[in-house]
Amino acid sequence: MIRGIGVLLMALALVSLLVKLFTYEYLLRDDPTAGIALRGAPGLDSGPKVLMAGDRVLVADENGFIGEGLYRVFSQFGWLIVVAASLFSMWRLRRGKATRVGDG
């Protein structure tokens, strides 16, 4: 059970890193449309910026999109919490295996 939680947290950490590195919030010039786009090259800036040519739009809506606040919180510092929790759980699993006597 605990091992499954550790594996799940590691998968969530990987997904959160991919979201942080390969998505960004975009705006269109002279238009209230905003959303999330998939960038071609990894980057750490996830804040609102003008849509780049060639990037794929994942979510778009006028005057904001559903989950806008959640995406902003997650892309700013939420991904760090997920990664830290997964690393801590994997460390605890490894430490638990190393201290058990008789397991082989």
Residue 63 backbone class (left: φ over 0; alpha: ψ -120 to 50; beta: rest): left
Residue 11 has pLDDT above 70, yes or no: yes
**How high is the pLDDT of residue 98?**
52
Domain boundaries, the chain: 2-99
Q: What is the pLDDT of residue 103?
A: 52
The identity of residue 7, as a single letter, is V
Q: Are 91 and 67 in contact (CB under 8 A)?
A: no
pLDDT digit string, tens, across residues 64-99: 788 888 888 888 888 888 888 888 888 887 777 655
From the CB of residue 103, how many other CB atoms can be counted at a distance below 10 Å? Answer: 8
Indicate the DSSP class of residue 64: -
The residue with greater pLDDT, 93 or 55, is: 55
pTM of the model: 0.74
Alpha helices (H) along 1-53: 2-22
